[in-house]
Amino acid sequence: MSVPRDIHLSVLSTGIFALATALIMTLYDQGMTRLHGRMDAANWWVLPLSYLAVLVLQDAYFYATHRLFHHPKLFRWFHQGHHRSRQPTPWTSFAFDPLEAGVQALFLIGVVMLIPLHFATLLAVLTTMTVWAVVNHLGLEVLPLRFPHHWLGRWVIGPAHHSIHHRRHGKHFGLYFTFWDWVFGSEDPAYADALQPSALVRPGA
């Protein structure tokens, strides 16, 4: 475990994301983004729809870049820092190498320039990204063993799902959803079987 190194990379990543935020606000002041603060009671459904749309787009972007960064010629420069801890901790959540942090920050800059988003929607996306990353680096014990067998657990990435990636680098590249891992064959077929709901049943129950 390399918590000090994870903290160091997390601080660097925080600085890069802060610079991206400053750039977004500068672009907003110049009218170059599609961020807005308008609330229309007749179109309230746009807020949750845009929120889900950004999550889906971010998940696809993250899967593609994450898998690309595992290429032997790129891994050392873009992603090695995140894998220094074989057993991840919350500090590992944003322990990105600077180049990877920059690539992930580019998504946020691009999305506010291309998609009409309410400020509340952007805040919800950033909150989800942060909480999801931390939870998925906590370990196997956070969610019940039956979660992978639940209908939600079959589509949504949890800590057990992501912890496999830190042990087997060629599996589980997604951020929020299991969809892309399933489509491109990077889903570990033993993932759900290894976490059987029967393990929760008490003897004689």
- How crowded is residue 37: how many other Cβ atoms within 10 Å of its Cβ? 7
Report how many helices (DSSP H) and strands (DSSP E) the chain contains, helices first: 7, 2
Question: Which of 168, 166, 167, 157 has the alpha carbon at shortest distance from 192?
Answer: 157
Is residue 98 a contact partner of residue 105, using CB atoms and an 8 Å limit?
no
- How crowded is residue 100: how many other Cβ atoms within 10 Å of its Cβ? 23
**Total length of the chain:** 205
Spell out the per-residue pLDDT of the chain, length 205, in tens. 578 899 999 999 999 999 999 999 999 999 999 999 988 876 788 899 999 999 999 999 999 999 999 999 999 999 999 998 777 888 899 999 999 999 999 999 999 999 999 999 999 999 999 999 998 888 655 666 666 656 666 788 888 888 889 888 899 999 999 999 999 999 888 776 655 544 434 334 3
Strand pairing class (35-36; 117-118): parallel
